[in-house]
Amino acid sequence: MENEFLFPQELDDLLKENVDKRYCVKKLIDIEKLSEKALNKTIDGVQERVSPKNPFEITSHENFDPLFSILRRYPMLSDFAKQRLISLLQDRLESCITKASEFIRNFSTSEPKARSTKQNVRNSLKMYIFSLYWCFFKNEVFLTSHKQAVKTKKRKAKDEASDTWVSDTLKEKILSTFLHALEIDLLNQLWNMPQPEENFLNTFSLVSFTMLETQLKNKTLKNCVYNIIAVLTVKHNMSISITSSITQYLFKFDHSSSILAELFECFIQTYNHSQIIGHVLREFGDIHSREAQDLTGVKNLGSFLTELSEKVPKSMIPHIRLILPFLESEAYLLRNAVVNVIGQILNKALTKEKDSHHDTTKMQDSLFEILLARFYDITAYTRSKVLQVWNLLTVGRAIPLRFFSTVAKKVIERIRDKSSHVRKCAIQLLSSMLQYNPYGPQLQVNYFQSKLEEVNKTRGSIDESDRDTQDEDPEEVKQQKLSKFYQESISFIEHVQESLPTLSCLLGSNCNSDVHESIKFFMLAASFLIENVENGFKKILLLIWSRDNQIKEAVTDAFKRIIFTRPNKLNKTESKSQESVEIAMNMIQMTTDASLAELTSLEELITILSKKNTMPPSVIQALWDIFAMKIPNCTNLESRGALIVLTMIANAKPEIIKNKISTLLQLGLNERCEIDEQVGRYTCIALQKLARNRDSFKNENESKDFEGISGRLKTTHPVFERLIRLIENSQLPLSQWFPVSEQALNSIFTLCDNPDHIAAQIIRTLSKRLTQDTTEVKNCSSDLTKLIFTVGHVALKQLVHLEEVNIELRRRRSEKSESKRTESKKNRETIDDEMMMDGTAEERDDERLIKLEQDLISCNLLGTYSPLIIKIASSPQSFKSSMLRSAAIIALTKFMCVSSKFCETNMRLLFTILKKSNDSTIRGNIMISLGDLAIRFPNLIEPWTPSFSALLHDEDPSVRKNSLLVLTHLMLNDMIKAKILISDMAICLEDQDSRISALAKLFFHELSAKGNTIYNILPDVISRLSSEDVVCSSSSFKTIMNQLFTYIQKEKQVESLIEKLCQRFNVCKDTSQCQDIAYCLGLLNYNEKGLRKLLDMWKYYFDHLHDPTILGHFQHIANKSKKFAKPDMITTINEFHAKLLHKANKKRKTE
């Protein structure tokens, strides 16, 4: 055979006769006209002639021409015929490879016809591979592209069905045979050149990458493909072609990154050929700049580098210089990938601290320095990735000691990052550094400082003894290392402590991830005994009121661990009761030195835990034992704390109080109250918890002390004797007597079936004590103060009691009526009559209640004291005692809450006192009382609402704070109109007291959730704050407006505000007001409609553009709109900018 078989570009190229003596088909069979039987007979003929013993017969035209004819119509064949043909070709190719190997080993140029035989062997091998490639892999390309084009499920199902004959086993056989062909020893000797022809080898490459495009899931198939590509590269010097194919494949297919990472792993682990990494990275380096806009390619390249570094990090080290230039790429995905690669190299490949090799340490330090510099990357995504990589290194303990403190310092800077995700990653990293720190389980500065001092003393003594010695002392080297270690540890601890204030602030963040991660960090910091974490725990405790259930759950879980984590583990000799005592002590410690807000939050927390039944009975019993001081070495402070915790648990489990009433009376309402008023106060609060379980008291026959409405106690019960004695005979100072007596009266009205009898008895006793005094009653008498306070509080509690009685009567009447309707089968008219009678009875009850309220302080015991109260409150010159006057004013406001008539009569007096009083406590108390009156009698308070304005500007911060809190509550609950005082509330945003400004921000944040409220009031606020009547500096005005305009987001609101604000230019009294309006216009977010509206309002403000400040604000609007402008906005922006430019040029010419 003289003609050479060359791989054609197209199948029909073999039909063309060539002048260069290429092999071509001579006789073509029309396969379409053959029946299935005739086709099979043709295949049988080829199979018989081309036997396994003589596979080279394929080169004969008698065999190849029919085979070629079948290949041309291959897609039309039946599945059986396709599979039979491929099996035949695959089997004969294996035989051909075996025979070719034998031929090469025994080849000798001295044999006759040696050259012709070699060509025949070569052509046979090429024909088999060509035929398999064309009938199977070309078809595979067809199937793949066809499936990608099909969208419907039916077409997809049909295509999948057409591929059922191609099994993975068959594919494995073919690919294994291809691999075997490439691995033939001395394969190049079949060609008269150093390597087989390029088209021949490219066929294997095309086969491999075609298979990779189909997202192979079969591991054996993938390994075959990987080995084919590797052999082509390593054995047949196709690295350039393979590199190009890899690049194209990576930038084209989304699934390519993981496939190529596995391929390169095969290169390195199976063939020890890591040079391919360098070839590919150089290719990427040449194209990444021009492919930067190809997001898919950049993403795939980044993923590839990341996965490759995870699989073979050590092989990446020699090529790191080719990867580092990607750090300068505009694509953050590439920068992320480089950061990942460096992280994997440092974590898995480079030796750690114990390796002292100079070159390794130098490279290690260089890579660490690169990662440190990436903390300041311009993109938040990359900063986040850097933090995640450092976290990986921390967990892997791959950060050398010399870098640990430096990294901590950088992390603290990122905790203040503007990106929430960066902050989250930074907190997570700092937590990991704390958890995996190399310094020890307890990070206390004092301990390490003492250790450092000891080391320095030891070094000093060594230096003195070895002063004359030239050699380096090993002990001195050891002490130097210890000194360095303790210095680094102290620096790290100080950095952690430096982060605590920032993390405390993040606990109040609007971003949930900030809050969650900060909570976790404080919990971890506490376990390492970091100092000053207590403030963080106090803030965490306040988060129990969060509306976000996840944050609330996180707080609950955090404190659950704190409460039930014992500082001392049980020894074998310790009892379980000791464990309960320690848990109880954990809760008691939280009450020590706690503020009112912290105690309230702790109460909510313990109530939640108690409702979830997480409070064991043994712990509750331990609390009672501590309260009774049965535990050895128990202090009075711990005893009081136990009582406080018990009152908190009683919110969810009031039965714990019911069973211990006698204990409370003996230990809480005895002479101990005279020493510690808190014990008496909390004992009263604990007794009030009994009201939460009244229904169970009513149904218990053994509870003979409970009767009357809703299971109240009889007036003869010993508890009331103790409470009366506490109020009447206590020798506590007035400042301590007030809270105790208030809770004692609350307990009486909560538990007693006839509290008015006991209250009248107490008032008469206190009155007699005054009249029995033979000397003149002093204005500052403490007895008079106690009497006035008691009268006022009794009046308020009597009002509450009357309302409770009225509600109870209604409930009973309703139950009785419902019972009658159920028992008797009446007609519809009778039922309607009874419902009408019930309605009439309720109306009579309401009228009776109103009359009782009016009579409560007019024609009975309480009413006799109203003139005295008014006299004391209105006569500061006659009654000098500030405490007496405060008690009288509070009593006056409580009387006003009881009766609308009394309230209306004394309203002017109350505001006169508010205006003239020099006592900030009195002003603050009146403001709080006005809040109650506004809820009780809103119509009476409304005319006086403008007078509240002065309190928001009071010189005393506590008065301003109380006023802001009261008005916030009233406005958010629609008790007063927001427009009246909203400008004064806005000024509070700039209050010097940070607590007041924070409360004001919270108010406007909550107000923004109430529909369009802020939008409605904003024009009036701008007008008022920019007027001369209100003292508001320009900087304060801008700060306030910046805050308020953040709540204007709707497009319609923006357009309407543009119109309203522009119209105000014509009514401005001076230029400063115009400047303020222009500034506000600049705060809005403009779309095309907004800009068009601003242009339409040109006539209102163009006369004012001569002012450079106003012109600057409008130019700012134009420039700001350009940054994020869509194409359809450009015309409008340019038009607006042109008008402004013309006005500016005209102004310059005039000047």
Least confident of 385-394, 568-577, 710-719, 912-921: 568-577
pLDDT of residue 1105: 83
Residue 713, phi then psi, degrees to nearest 5: -80, 150
- Tell me, what DSSP letter sits at residue 346? I
Residue 742 structure tokens = 């208030």
Contacts of 1085 (CB under 8 A, 6+ apart): 1049, 1054
Structure token digits, residue 278: 């360098």
Structure-block tokens of residue 448: 């390490």
Asked if 849 contacts 806 with a C-beta cutoff of 8 angstroms, the reply is: yes
Give strand pairing partners of 712. 707
Element (H, E) at 706: strand 706-707
> Bridge partners of 713?
706, 752
Looking at residue 474, its pLDDT comes to 78
Tell me what pLDDT residue 237 has: 85
Six token digits for residue 132: 């398999």
Give the span between the Cα atoms of 1045 and 781, in whole angstroms.
55
pLDDT of residue 339: 94
| 293 CB burial (10 A radius; 0-12, 13-18, 19+) | exposed
Residues 6+ positions from 814 with CB-CB distance below 8 Å: 838
Measured CA to CA, the distance from residue 146 to residue 169 in angstroms comes to 23
Asked if 1064 and 1084 touch (Cβ cutoff 8 Å), the reply is no
Name the pLDDT band for 373 (thresholds 50, 70, 90). Answer: very high
Q: Residue 210: which pLDDT band, with cuts at 50, 70 and 90?
A: confident
Contact 163, 143 (CB under 8 A): yes
467 has a pLDDT exceeding 50: yes
Q: What is the pLDDT of residue 470?
A: 55
Round the CA-based radius of gyration of the chain to a whole number and report it.
45
In this structure, what DSSP letter does residue 376 have? G
Return the pLDDT at 743. Answer: 93
| Full DSSP string of 475-541 | HHHHHHHHHHHHHHHHHHHHHHHHHHHHHHHHTT-SSHHHHHHHHHHHHHHHHTT-TT-HHHHHHHH
* Torsion of the alpha carbons at 808, 810, 813 and 816, rounded to the nearest 10: -70
Confidence of residue 553 (pLDDT cuts 50, 70, 90): very high
Other CB atoms closer than 10 Å to residue 176's CB: what's the count? 18
Average pLDDT over residues 569-593: 78
Rounded CA gap, 1100 and 1064, in Å? 8
**Residue reference for tokens 């490759």:** 308
Write the CB contacts of 167 (distance below 8 Å, at least 6 apart in sequence).
none
φ, ψ for residue 213, nearest 5 deg: -65, -20
Strands (E), 854-906: none
pLDDT band at 509 (very low <50, low <70, confident <90, very high): confident
Reference 381, options 424, 336, 435; nearest CA is 336
DSSP states along 450-472? HHHHHHHHHHHHHHHHTTT--SP
What's the mean pLDDT when you consider all of the chain?
83
Task: Give the chain's count of helices (H) and strands (E).
Answer: 55, 2
Given this model, what pLDDT does residue 150 score?
A: 40
Task: Tell me what pLDDT residue 293 has.
Answer: 55
Q: Each residue of 130-148: b (16+ CB within 10 Å) or e?
A: bbbbbbbbbbbeebbeeee
pLDDT digits over 240-251, tens only? 889 889 888 888
Write the pLDDT tens digit of every residue in 351-360. Answer: 654 445 667 8
What are the tens digits of pLDDT across the range 139-158?
A: 654 444 434 444 344 444 44
Asked if residue 890 lies in contact with residue 927, where contact means CB atoms within 8 angstroms, the answer is: no
28: three-class secondary structure by DSSP: coil
The answer to whether 1095 and 1132 have CB atoms below 8 angstroms apart is: yes
Whether 713 contacts 704, CB under 8 Å: no
Answer with the residue of higher pLDDT: 837 or 586.
Answer: 586
Show the tokens assigned to 1112. Answer: 């600057």
**pTM check: above 0.85:** no
User: What are 1019's two structure tokens?
Assistant: 């024009």
> How many residues can be counted in the chain?
1151
Q: Return all residues near 228 (Cβ < 8 A) that are at least 6 apart.
A: 175, 178, 179, 182, 204, 207, 208
pLDDT at 810 over 90: no
Contacts (Cβ under 8 Å, ≥6 apart) of 913: 873, 874, 889, 922, 926
pLDDT in the model for residue 763: 93
Structure-token match 């508010």, residue found: 914
Per-residue model confidence as pLDDT tens digits over 79-123: 888 888 888 888 888 898 888 888 887 776 556 567 778 888 888
The two tokens of residue 26 are 């001579």
Please, are residues 784 and 734 in contact by the beta-carbon 8 Å criterion?
Answer: no
- CB atoms closer than 10 angstroms to residue 205: 20
Decide: helix, strand or coil at residue 18: coil
* Residue 716 tokens, joined: 């003869």
DSSP 8-state symbol, 1107? S
Alpha-helix runs per DSSP H in 592-733: 596-611, 617-627, 636-649, 655-658, 661-668, 677-688, 694-698, 718-729
- How many angstroms separate the Cα of 1149 from the Cα of each of 624, 864, 1105, 1135, 1142? 89, 83, 14, 21, 11
The angle, 0 to 180 degrees and rounded to 10, between the axes of the packed helices 677-688 and 661-668 is: 160
Which residue's structure tokens are 């070699």? 118
Kindly tell me if the per-residue pLDDT of 780 is higher than 50: no
